[in-house]
Structure 1
Amino acid sequence: MGAQLRVYKRRIKSVTATKKITKAMEMIAASRIVKAQRQVAASTPYASELTRAVTAVATGSNTQHPLTTEAEQPVRAAVLLVTSDRGLAGGYSSNAIKAAEKLTERLKAEGKEVVPYIVGRKGVAYYSFRHRTIKDSWTGFTDKPSYADAKAVAAPLVEAVLTDTAEGGVDELHIVFTEFVSMLTQAPVENRLLPLSLEATEETEKKGEVLPLYDFEPSAEDVLDALLPRYVESRIYNALLQSAASEHAARRRAMKSATDNAEELIKSLTRLANQARQAEITQEISEIVGGSSALADATAGSD
């Protein structure tokens, strides 16, 4: 019984140490969510208004531009997948990867070649383990992205869009990331960034809003050339911030669940340890009583 009791005590000590770690990680994630939410709230209006402005420019001109013109027969599409650098965040990365897999299957069914771009070590590891070709990847900033990171990600994507498909360019640009809905809900979404979808224009018209009119100087094409990288950068930056907030929220929820499970396990092990201790005490008492009885019998026999 003594050996069993020592085993329970060691396990309780080990689980208690694990609980301290998960509790600390939960508190760190909770503190980072607030800042991430503020960054999302600050960047979303800019990205939305820039998209609205680009849409207005696109609808107000007849210029053929990669930003707004769809290829008659698109042959290649770039997919940017945003995952995390670290684990212990529940199904955050795996859900985004599943959404990217569905998008990839749909694009391939449409006869398009998919060119993957990956943000985050989890996505890179997933593709590398399956020996899939990755066009480009970025790691090291998923939990705290900056606008410079978004520019670094956007640069090769814009270049690929502007390059002719015969020379290895792409006709479409899609992004898969995790949208931060609330502290309890984070949903993986996929959006087509380029060519710009005019669905926003249709929704605006349905609401009765009127897009602003623009005069283009020196030309509409030059304006769209200047707006193209800004549009892609702002949308990617907002997606990175949304994903960062979602990662922190998912990690907080996962660590809280781990902490709660550790507490339950400690309670269960404590009960088992108490039972083992009681059994050991009962056995010792029985041995003492048995020895006392044997001694009394021996003394009575000698008399």
Structure 2
Amino acid sequence: MGAQLRVYRQRIRSAQTTKKITRAMELISASRIQKAQARVAASAPYSRAVTRAVSAVATFSNVEHVLTSEAENPRRAAIVVFTSDRGLAGAFSSQILREVGELAEKLSGEGKEVVYYLVGRKSVGYFAFRRRESERQWIGGTDKPEFETAKEIGGVLVEKFVQDTDEGGVDEIHIVYNRFVSMVTQTPEVVRLLPLEVVEGIDEPGDQAILPLYEFEPDADAVLNGLLPVYIESRIFNAMLQSAASEHAARQKAMKSATDNADALIRDYTRLANNARQSEITQQISEIVGGADALSSAKK
């Protein structure tokens, strides 16, 4: 009984230590999620304005631009994977990697060669473990994205898109990231970044619609050359911010569940330890009473 009681007490101490760690991580994520949400909200007006500008140029001009026109027979497609640098966030990274696998299978079924660009240590480790190749990798800072990183990723992607396919270029670029919906919901999002798919398109003007007036100087082609790279960078940065907010929310939820499980373990092991202690006391009393009865019988 004594050995069993020591085992229970050791498990209680282990569960208490785990609870302290998970509770601390839960509080850290709870404090960071507010800042992450604020950054997402702050970036939304700029992203919408750039999207409307690109929509206007792409919709109301007859310019054939390399970033807006699709290849006749696309042969190579790039997938940009946004995961986290750290774990303990539930299914945050695994659901992205699962979505990437489904997208890659679909593109391969269409006869396209798939290449990968990885953001986050989890995706890098996933590909390294399975010995799968990737074109470029970016690690560090996924919980607090920097615009310089988004600018670098956008520059690499645009360069690869305008490059000839025979020389290592790509015909399509897709991004896969977690979109922040709420504190309890983060959904994987798949977006074809290039050729351009305007998300916030401009419809034909109706009776009450008032559209902004744009003057293209020096011409629409030059405007697209300058505007589309900015659009790509803003979309990538928005995906990084959405992914960061989703990561903090997922980690907070996972750590709260872990803390609750630790509490349940502590209660269960405390109950078992009390039962073992009571059994030990009962056994000791029985031995004392038995010994006393034996002494009394011997004196008679």
TM-score by length of 1: 0.95
Return closer, same or farther for 1:28/1:76 CA change in 2, 3 Å cut-off: same
C-alpha displacement of 1:128: 1.4
The SS at the match of 2:229 is helix
Aligned pairs for 1:89-104 within 5 A: 89-104=89-104
Return closer, same or farther for 1:101/1:34 CA change in 2, 3 Å cut-off: same
For the 8 Å contact 1:82–1:243, the answer to whether it is kept is yes
Confirm or deny that 1:7 pairs with 2:16. no
Could you tell me how far apart the structure 2 residues matched to 1:82 and 1:133 are? 16
C-alpha displacement of 1:212: 3.3
Name the Cα RMSD after superposition. 1.7
1:183 alignment counterpart: 183
1:46 alignment counterpart: 46
Q: Which moved more, 1:205-214 or 1:143-152?
A: 205-214
C-alpha displacement of 1:143: 0.6
Residue segments in structure 2 that go unaligned for 5+ positions in a row: none
1:272 alignment counterpart: 272
1:56 alignment counterpart: 56
1:194 alignment counterpart: 194
For the 8 Å contact 2:55–2:202, the answer to whether it is kept is no
Q: Which moved more, 1:237-246 or 1:206-215?
A: 206-215
C-alpha displacement of 1:215: 2.3
2:240 alignment counterpart: 240
Amino acid at match of 2:129: F
For the 8 Å contact 1:141–1:149, the answer to whether it is kept is no
C-alpha displacement of 1:131: 1.4
Could you tell me how far apart the structure 2 residues matched to 1:199 and 1:132 are? 32
Could you tell me how far apart the structure 1 residues matched to 2:230 and 2:281 are? 75
For the 8 Å contact 1:55–1:196, the answer to whether it is kept is no
C-alpha displacement of 1:183: 0.3
Q: Which moved more, 1:124-133 or 1:176-185?
A: 124-133
Amino acid at match of 1:43: S
For the 8 Å contact 1:77–1:171, the answer to whether it is kept is yes
C-alpha displacement of 1:203: 5.9
Confirm or deny that 1:222 pairs with 2:222. yes
Deviations 1:69-125 (A, max 9, x none): 111111111111100000000000000111111111111112211111010011111
2:78 alignment counterpart: 78
Could you tell me how far apart the structure 1 residues matched to 2:165 and 2:211 are? 32
Aligned pairs for 1:25-174 within 5 A: 25-174=25-174
C-alpha displacement of 1:48: 2.0
C-alpha displacement of 1:228: 2.0
Amino acid at match of 2:289: V
Could you tell me how far apart the structure 2 residues matched to 1:75 and 1:61 are? 28
C-alpha displacement of 1:295: 0.5
Calculate percent identity across the aligned residue pairs. 60
Amino acid at match of 1:55: S
Could you tell me how far apart the structure 2 residues matched to 1:212 and 1:75 are? 38
Number of residue pairs matched by the alignment: 300
Residue segments in structure 1 that go unaligned for 5+ positions in a row: none
Q: Which moved more, 1:202-211 or 1:22-31?
A: 202-211
